[in-house]
């Protein structure tokens, strides 16, 4: 493989950028400067404390008389320091890099995209917009400064006089009209559902870099793809900050990537600096909450956000954790969400609030030690008894019957009742405004139940906005909403009831072979899942020779795949992890760490997941065991569909008892 002749130069430029950024970060955030500058610098300090700053993303060369536009870099932050001209990826000018069709792009001659190894630039790819044109990139003199000693330099912003074009510490204003922000930039490819592999790659940018990246082994945590964001992804990430947005996408289309970068975008200082979309509220940056499905998800995405956003501005958590935190009660909360439909009904909010009013009319809320538990108990027990004889909460017979079936408070510490407990807490003690968020981003939003939406809603400030991403085909329970319209209606996202989510249709994670196999589980009108990874190993379907050999066969298959993908990851997904744990133990595999997810033997490692814990994750190879045992909801197989589509490169299915008809057909075709 030949390396690009400019690679050493760009590597040195990246080092120079990181060194200059480092120097900038050494400023004392408490220095006496304007307040917006103060928090922006403080954000930098916190990002630095998190580990590292994101390296340069790429470079744009334009045919322009304007020196600032002729040759510039895109990075995590704006830096204009001598020879280094870097604009923030969140500034409007970055559209020239991410959106080849955006206004002003006709002047772009070449877009250079960097690939990274940690904070180094390891490769680069040029996309020429004008074939045969001279390179506008100027080979400026290199200087790689040694990081400066801990010297504190105060930064002062002197407002530029009106009409002045003197560069300040702010980014230049957008070459793109404001009407074109976000939504308008979604390209036609987001609407197409059928077509060949060539079609699905149409409209992509940095295609070679993306394909190289997808061919590399995956790691436990998502690795940055900020430099590789596609035009449709970037449009969703930079959706107007004062609007909510809902995104539906097949597995592996990059919804989690959009969610993580949307959070980072909303707090990027470029939005708060002069000319930015949030310049007016520079002294009060947005607080953003990202809610995912599981603890594994939190670990999986945090790495995308940490180099770009301070933890104080973006909090990443998972649904059960937020519910438990809301109650303030110690768990554990075993089991799963579900149970009866009424357990998750949005009505619980009204019941809890009425119960709290009844209690308050004759009693005082407890304070001090153990008060929270007692207060929640009071509200809960009043729901259970349908209020008091003189003041019932409801008259409806079915609702009364559900209330009667609720277990006594001390036996209700189960995941099933956790949102109800959270609702009981909120009924007497709302979330203080300082702890609420300006923007809530929910991933795997199809799996949030009505009562959980109500609890989440308590965390949103009055003028707050939502970004919801998910896939209705991956819905795993009947007790959650079956359509985006219902969710939009619940959250009052639409005035007229008509609601269409934005659609992402270009898959990245899995090969065509994996997706064609999993696709068969969907109703015909929802099929057509497409991927940029057109080729790949066919799906292996193995029937164990005898029922008691199904776990042995599954482990042998996983071992073979782990050997083949030794640099990547292999996972076994089963609804019966206990049986698999037994087999792993008998075969000499040992668990790594305190959980049961990672097992090792002979320098190999395999991961083990029940389907609910595998949501949002991905592995190079996946073995799904006994697909016929995966639960269905309303005739749909969301959990099985999600599990099959966790595979990036190879999928195997091992069974003995029962193979769903759709998968039998898929295996034959
Ligand atoms: N623009 C891109 N360039 C390269 N890789 C990408 C790009 N977008 C997404 N990916 C990769 O595709 C994989 C799937 O992305 P992601 O997890 O965001 O998909 P998803 O839509 O959330 O999937 P699911 O709903 O199945 O959980 C990840 O490995 C991600 O890094």
E strand segments, 343-382 = none
- Nearest CA to 256 out of 184, 183, 316, 322 is that of 316
Percent of the chain with pLDDT over 90: 63
Asked if residue 157 has pLDDT above 90, the reply is no
Residue of 254, 622, 651 to test ligand 1 pocket, by largest number of atoms within 8 Å of CB? 254
Residue 430 and residue 305 share a domain:
yes
pLDDT at position 135: 85
Closest C-alpha to ligand 1, atom 6: 508
Tell me, in angstroms, the distance from the centre of ligand 1 to residue 386's CA.
47
Query: 332 preceded by cis ω (within 30°)?
Result: yes
Q: Give me the phi and psi of 121, to 5 degrees please.
A: -85, 125
251 is annotated as contributing to ligand binding: yes
How wide is the angle at C-alpha 42 spanned by C-alphas 224 and 80, nearest 5°? Answer: 70
What residue spans of 189-293 are helical by DSSP H?
197-201, 207-215, 231-237, 255-266
Beta bridge partners of residue 61, listed in sequence order? 71, 110
Distance between first and last Cα of the chain: 37
Residue 430: CATH number of its domain: 3.40.50.300
Average pLDDT, the chain: 85
Average pLDDT over residues 304-331: 92
Average pLDDT over residues 568-592: 96
- H or E element in which residue 128 lies: strand 120-128
Q: Give me the phi and psi of 479, to 5 degrees please.
A: -85, 0
Q: Which of 44-53, 575-584, 655-664 has the lowest mean pLDDT?
A: 44-53
Average pLDDT over residues 307-315: 87
Residue 347 and residue 489 share a domain:
yes
How wide is the angle at C-alpha 273 spanned by C-alphas 268 and 277, nearest 5°? Answer: 75
Give 81-101 pLDDT, tens digit per residue: 877 889 999 999 999 999 999
Residue 194 and residue 113 share a domain:
yes
For residue 150, tell me if it sits in a domain: no
Last residue of a domain, one of 466, 490, 506: 506
Give 477-502 pLDDT, tens digit per residue: 878 898 999 999 999 998 776 788 99
> Distance between alpha carbon 299 and the CA centroid of its chain, in Å?
11
Pairing of strands 108-117, 58-62: antiparallel
For residue 569, tell me if it sits in a domain: yes
Q: Is the CB of 293 under 6 A from ligand 1?
A: no
Q: In which band, very low, low, confident or very high, does the pLDDT at 235 lie, cut at 50, 70 and 90?
A: very high
Give 608-655 pLDDT, tens digit per residue: 999 999 998 999 999 999 999 998 876 678 899 999 999 999 999 999
DSSP state of 104: T
Average pLDDT over residues 60-77: 91
Q: In which band, very low, low, confident or very high, does the pLDDT at 142 lie, cut at 50, 70 and 90?
A: very low
Residue listed under structure tokens 């649904």: 319
pLDDT at position 180: 34
Q: Is the CB of 231 under 6 A from ligand 1?
A: no
For residue 206, tell me if it sits in a domain: yes
Asked if residue 145 has pLDDT above 50, the reply is no
Residue 473 and residue 432 share a domain:
yes
Residue 500 and residue 523 share a domain:
no
Average pLDDT over residues 286-313: 91
Residue of 98, 225, 318, 514 to test ligand 1 pocket, by largest number of atoms within 8 Å of CB? 225
Tell me, in angstroms, the distance from the centre of ligand 1 to residue 476's CA.
20
The DSSP result for 131-146, as a single string, is TTPPP----PPP--PP
Q: In which band, very low, low, confident or very high, does the pLDDT at 253 lie, cut at 50, 70 and 90?
A: very high
Tell me, in angstroms, the distance from the centre of ligand 1 to residue 155's CA.
39
Residue 345 and residue 443 share a domain:
yes
255 is annotated as contributing to ligand binding: yes
Residue 465 and residue 594 share a domain:
no
Residue 442 and residue 307 share a domain:
yes
CB 76 within 8 A of CB 135: no
Count Cβ neighbours within 10 Å for each residue of 533-566 and write b for 16 or more, e otherwise.
beebbebbbbebeeeeebbbbbbbbbbbbbeebe
Residue 524 and residue 456 share a domain:
no
Name, in order, each residue with C-beta under 8 angstroms of 315's C-beta and a sequence gap of 6 or more.
Answer: 287, 288, 289, 290, 437
For residue 225, tell me if it sits in a domain: yes
pLDDT at position 494: 82
Percent of the chain with pLDDT over 70: 84
Residue of 509, 515, 532, 640 to test ligand 1 pocket, by largest number of atoms within 8 Å of CB? 509
Residue 293 and residue 208 share a domain:
no
Asked if residue 63 has pLDDT above 80, the reply is yes
Residue 45 and residue 186 share a domain:
yes
| Residue 527 domain boundaries | 509-668
Asked if residue 188 has pLDDT above 90, the reply is no
pLDDT at position 186: 44
pLDDT at position 483: 92
Q: Is the CB of 446 under 6 A from ligand 1?
A: no
Give 362-399 pLDDT, tens digit per residue: 899 999 999 999 999 999 999 999 999 999 999 999 99
For residue 519, tell me if it sits in a domain: yes
Closest C-alpha to ligand 1, atom 25: 251
Q: In which band, very low, low, confident or very high, does the pLDDT at 178 lie, cut at 50, 70 and 90?
A: very low
Query: In ligand 1, which atom is closest to the CA atom of 222?
Result: 31
Average pLDDT over residues 176-189: 35
Q: In which band, very low, low, confident or very high, does the pLDDT at 174 lie, cut at 50, 70 and 90?
A: very low
Residue 326 has a CB neighbour count (10 Å cut-off) of 22
Domains: count for the chain? 3
pLDDT at position 48: 54
How wide is the angle at C-alpha 543 spanned by C-alphas 537 and 544, nearest 5°? Answer: 125
Complex ipTM, two decimals? 0.99
| Cα 433 from Cα 459, distance rounded (Å) | 8
Q: Which of 25-29, 225-229, 274-278, 534-538 has the lowest mean pLDDT?
A: 25-29
pLDDT at position 338: 63
Higher pLDDT, 353 or 69: 353
pLDDT at position 173: 38
pTM comes to 0.88
Last residue of a domain, one of 474, 506, 538: 506
Tell me, in angstroms, the distance from the centre of ligand 1 to residue 255's CA.
7
Q: Is the CB of 253 under 6 A from ligand 1?
A: yes
Higher pLDDT, 281 or 192: 281
Give 322-346 pLDDT, tens digit per residue: 999 999 998 889 887 765 666 667 7
For residue 610, tell me if it sits in a domain: yes
Q: In which band, very low, low, confident or very high, does the pLDDT at 52 lie, cut at 50, 70 and 90?
A: low
Closest C-alpha to ligand 1, atom 30: 254
Asked if residue 51 has pLDDT above 70, the reply is no
Last residue of a domain, one of 459, 479, 506: 506
458 is annotated as contributing to ligand binding: no
Q: Which of 61-65, 185-189, 206-210, 365-369 has the lowest mean pLDDT?
A: 185-189
Closest C-alpha to ligand 1, atom 8: 254
For residue 393, tell me if it sits in a domain: no
pLDDT at position 282: 61
What residue spans of 385-460 are helical by DSSP H?
397-405, 418-428, 450-458
511 is annotated as contributing to ligand binding: no
Residue 287 and residue 411 share a domain:
yes
Query: In ligand 1, which atom is closest to the CA atom of 257?
Result: 18
The DSSP result for 497-513, as a single string, is S----EEE-EE-SS-HH
Give 114-138 pLDDT, tens digit per residue: 999 989 999 999 999 988 888 888 6
CB 98 within 8 A of CB 205: yes
Tell me, in angstroms, the distance from the centre of ligand 1 to residue 360's CA.
49
pLDDT at position 134: 84
Cβ-count burial of 367 within 10 angstroms (0-12 exposed, 13-18 middle, 19+ buried)?
exposed
For residue 165, tell me if it sits in a domain: no
Q: Is the CB of 225 under 6 A from ligand 1?
A: yes
- Nearest CA to 97 out of 136, 138, 70, 60 is that of 60
Residue 46, CB half-sphere, CA atoms under 13 Å: how many? Answer: 18
Q: In which band, very low, low, confident or very high, does the pLDDT at 161 lie, cut at 50, 70 and 90?
A: very low
């Amino acid at each position: 493989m030949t390396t690009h002749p400019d690679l050493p130069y760009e590597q040195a430029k990246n080092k120079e950028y990181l060194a200059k950024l480092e120097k900038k970060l050494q400023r004392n955030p408490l220095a006496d400067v304007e307040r917006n500058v103060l928090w922006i610098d403080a954000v930098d300090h916190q990002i630095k404390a998190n580990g590292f700053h994101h390296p340069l993303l790429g470079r744009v060369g334009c045919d322009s008389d304007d020196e600032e536009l002729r040759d510039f870099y895109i990075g995590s932050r704006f830096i204009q320091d001598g020879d280094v001209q870097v604009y923030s990826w969140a500034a409007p000018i970055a559209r020239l890099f991410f959106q080849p069709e955006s206004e002003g792009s006709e002047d772009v001659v070449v877009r250079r995209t960097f690939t990274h190894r940690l904070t180094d630039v390891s490769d680069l790819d040029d996309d020429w917009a004008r074939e045969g044109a001279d390179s506008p990139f100027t080979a400026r003199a290199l200087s790689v400064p040694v990081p400066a000693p801990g010297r504190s330099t105060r930064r002062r912003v002197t407002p530029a006089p009106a009409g002045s074009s003197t560069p300040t510490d702010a980014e230049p204003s957008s070459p793109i009209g404001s009407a074109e922000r976000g939504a308008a930039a979604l390209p036609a490819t987001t609407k197409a559902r059928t077509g060949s592999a060539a079609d699905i790659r149409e409209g992509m940018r940095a295609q070679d870099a993306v394909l190289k990246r997808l061919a590399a082994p995956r790691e436990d945590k998502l690795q940055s793809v900020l430099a590789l964001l596609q035009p449709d992804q970037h449009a969703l990430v930079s959706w107007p900050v004062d609007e909510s947005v809902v995104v539906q996408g097949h597995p592996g289309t990059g919804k989690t990537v959009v969610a993580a970068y949307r959070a980072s975008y909303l707090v990027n200082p470029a939005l708060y600096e002069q000319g930015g979309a949030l310049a007016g509220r520079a002294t009060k940056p947005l607080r953003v909450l990202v809610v995912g499905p599981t603890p594994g998800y939190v670990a999986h995405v945090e790495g995308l956000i940490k180099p770009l956003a301070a933890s104080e501005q973006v909090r990443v958590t998972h649904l059960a954790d937020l519910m438990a935190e809301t109650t303030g009660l110690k768990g554990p909360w075993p089991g799963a969400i579900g149970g009866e439909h009424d357990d998750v009904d949005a009505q619980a909010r009204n019941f809890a609030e009425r119960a709290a009013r009844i209690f308050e009319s004759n009693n005082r809320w407890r304070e001090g030690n153990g008060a929270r538990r007692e207060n929640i108990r009071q509200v809960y027990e009043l729901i259970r008894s349908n209020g008091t004889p003189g003041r019932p909460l409801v008259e409806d017979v079915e609702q009364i019957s559900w209330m009667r079936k609720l277990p006594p408070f001390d036996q209700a510490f189960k995941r099933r009742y956790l949102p109800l407990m959270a609702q009981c807490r909120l009924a007497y003690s709302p979330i203080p405004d300082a702890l609420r968020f300006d923007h809530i981003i929910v991933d795997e939003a199809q799996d949030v139940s009505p009562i959980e939406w109500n609890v989440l809603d308590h965390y949103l400030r009055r003028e707050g906005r939502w970004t919801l991403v998910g896939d209705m085909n991956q819905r795993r329970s009947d007790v959650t909403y079956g359509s985006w319209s219902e969710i939009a209606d619940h959250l009052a996202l639409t005035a007229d009831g008509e609601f269409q989510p934005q659609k992402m249709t270009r898959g990245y994670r899995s090969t065509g072979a994996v997706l064609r196999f999993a696709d068969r589980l969907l109703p015909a009108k929802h099929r057509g899942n497409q991927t940029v990874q057109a080729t790949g190993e066919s799906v292996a379907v193995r029937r164990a020779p005898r029922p008691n050999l199904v776990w042995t066969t599954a482990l042998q298959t996983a071992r073979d795949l782990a050997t083949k993908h030794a640099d990547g990851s292999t996972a076994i997904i089963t609804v019966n992890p206990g049986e698999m744990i037994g087999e792993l133990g008998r075969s000499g595999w040992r668990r790594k760490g305190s959980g049961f997810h990672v097992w090792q033997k002979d320098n190999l490692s395999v991961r083990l997941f029940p389907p609910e814990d595998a949501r949002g994750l991905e592995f190079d190879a996946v073995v799904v065991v006994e697909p016929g045992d995966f639960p269905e909801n309303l005739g749909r197989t969301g959990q099985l569909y999600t599990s099959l589509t966790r595979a990036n490169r190879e999928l195997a299915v091992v069974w003995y008892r029962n193979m769903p008809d759709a998968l039998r057909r898929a295996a034959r075709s």
